[in-house]
Amino acid sequence: MEQDQELLNRCLAGEDSAWEALLSVHTRRIYNICYRFTGRVEEAEDVAQEVFIKVFQTLRSYDAAQGSFSTWLNRVTRNHLVDHYRRTRKERATSSLEDELPAAEVKSGPQLEPARPLESRERRELLQRGLDKLSPDLREAVILRDLQDLDYEEIAQVLGVPQGTVKSRINRGRLELGRVLKRMEGVRGPAKAGSEP
Amino acid sequence: MTHLDVENLTSDYLEGLLGAEVKRELESHLRLCPACLEMVEDVRQAMELCQAAPALEPAPWLVSRIMLATVGERRPSWAERLAAYIRPVFHSRLAYGIAMAVFSFSIIVNAAGISLRKVTVGDLNPLTWWPRADRAANLYLARLEQFASDLRVVYEVESRIQQLRSQAEEERKTPKEDPPAGGSSKTAPLRLPALAGNAAWVGEPFGHTGPGGTNSYSTP
């Protein structure tokens, strides 16, 4: 946190190397949030880049009294993801229909795959597809809590809603994700969630 | 406790945030309700799947791309510029070259008899410093030759003493023959071993001559 503040001060003084250091610290986390939300590598890279451009342009508006830089960065990311989601909703609706087709074919097919433990890559894809099925409100709450490991208070700051709402969304998101994954696993075969090495 | 209560409390239950009393009630409900138990188990698996998911590495060029999109070509800081100037000095080949140049320069200056504390314009003229440098070089060469020559003499003397000792030892060990009757009781004089190279190389070791102009180490 202190390191962030020092880097920020140097950034504001026009030191490019400080901005690069700040990027090195936070890019991975922001990219992961973007990827979990969008589900596509290229899209996540583009969104992460847009987030950092926005951060760079509004760096002077950050107020340390309002919370840590990390929380502020998460909030900017979340707002940008919501905007991005709204912008790409139509395109997403089309592609999500396409995504559904293979699953529908598998469901209606006469032979299902034999039951076997899911490989690590398959598990990642399964999780991503499960997250994609959640509504944006529930998805972002689950991502911030279970994938980014933020506490309720910080999530409330990022999302700009009371903690009670955060808890409710996380709970509903988990219930929904559990149901979705169960349905998907029913198609692909059972998997033990904790069996990944 | 109703099914809806269980549903609302599932996250708190799995995160261990419930009080003892509520937790007991919920667990007793789960024992009697397979549907709720299955639902809690599904959520548990979903949470475990999320928490076990590894963080993904962004493409290595992402930071560079963002840098380019925000600040353009990055301007190096003062420290980086300074480091860029200094870095080649620490390159081993360059450092070695500089050291050798300094060493050669110091030898030339020393040989030329130039005092770096009192350098004059005249010292830059080759006619001034060349004779001095030539003289100094010849002097060093002569000293070197003298040293080599002295060293050879010392080794020669040492080897000769060694030979004399071993010869005396041999004679002491061999049984003495009876002298012929009426013969002299004097023993034969000790025969000196011949020197390996003789006087040809022992010669005159650069200014070291014995009394009367002959080499003091030459065989008689």
ipTM of the modeled complex: 0.73
Cβ contact B74–A24 (<8 Å) = no
| Tokens matching residue B49 | 């799947």
Choose the weakest-confidence range: A97-106, B105-114, B163-172.
A97-106
- Whole-angstrom distance, CA of residue A142 vs CA of residue B11: 11
Please report the pLDDT score of residue A110 as a whole number. Answer: 37
Single-letter residue type at A180: V
Q: Regarding the domain delimited by A1-87, which CATH topology (the fold level of the hierarchy) does it fall under?
A: Rna Polymerase Sigma Factor; Chain: A (1.10.1740)
Shortest distance between the Cα of B48 and any Cα of chain A, in A, equals: 6
> For testing the chain B interface, which of A23, A149, A192 should be mutated: the one with the most B CBs within 10 Å?
A23
Mean pLDDT (whole number) for A121-128:
83
Do the domain assignments include residue B139?
Answer: no
Do the domain assignments include residue B23?
Answer: yes
pLDDT at A44 over 70: yes
Residue with the larger pLDDT of the pair A174 and B107: A174
Q: Which of left, alpha, beta for A91 (phi over 0: left; psi -120 to 50: alpha)?
A: alpha
Please report the pLDDT score of residue B74 as a whole number. Answer: 64
B35 — contact with chain A (CB < 8 Å)? no
Q: How many domains does chain B have?
A: 1
Q: Which of B39, B56, B77 sits opposite A32 (nearest CB)?
A: B56
Shortest distance between the Cα of B12 and any Cα of chain A, in A, equals: 8
Please report the pLDDT score of residue B213 as a whole number. Answer: 45
Among residues A27, A85, A132, which one has the least CA distance to residue B55? A27
Q: What are phi and psi of A148, to 5 degrees?
A: -100, -10
Mean pLDDT (whole number) for A132-152:
91
pTM of the model: 0.56
Q: What is the mean pLDDT of chain A?
A: 80
List CB contacts (< 8 A) between B69 and chain A.
49, 52-53
Q: How confident is the model at residue B60 (pLDDT cuts 50, 70, 90)?
A: confident
B50 — contact with chain A (CB < 8 Å)? yes
- Return the domain boundaries, chain A: 1-87, 91-190
Please report the pLDDT score of residue B76 as a whole number. Answer: 67
Mean pLDDT (whole number) for A68-73:
90
The domain in which residue B7 lies consists of: 3-52
Q: How confident is the model at residue B35 (pLDDT cuts 50, 70, 90)?
A: very high
Q: Tens digits of per-residue pLDDT, A76-91?
A: 999 999 888 888 876 6
Among residues A12, A179, A153, which one has the least CA distance to residue B46? A179
Q: How confident is the model at residue A101 (pLDDT cuts 50, 70, 90)?
A: very low
pLDDT at B110 over 50: yes
| Tokens matching residue B214 | 């002959």
| Tokens matching residue A22 | 């700040």
CB A171, CB B8: distance < 8 Å: yes
Mean pLDDT (whole number) for A145-169:
91
Please report the pLDDT score of residue B175 as a whole number. Answer: 66
Cβ contact A123–B49 (<8 Å) = yes
- Whole-angstrom distance, CA of residue B197 vs CA of residue B200: 7
DSSP string, A129-184: HHHHHS-HHHHHHHIIIIIS---HHHHHHHHTS-HHHHHHHHHHHHHHHHHHHHHH
Among residues A75, A51, A49, which one has the least CA distance to residue A62? A75
| Architecture of domain A91-190 in this structure | Orthogonal Bundle (1.10)
Q: How confident is the model at residue A188 (pLDDT cuts 50, 70, 90)?
A: low
Mean pLDDT (whole number) for A15-38:
90
pLDDT at A118 over 50: yes
CB B6, CB B37: distance < 8 Å: no
Q: Tens digits of per-residue pLDDT, B136-155?
A: 888 889 999 999 999 999 99
Mean pLDDT (whole number) for B44-56:
88
Residue with the larger pLDDT of the pair A193 and A140: A140
| Tokens matching residue A179 | 């149901």
Shortest CA distance from B9: residue in chain A:
A171
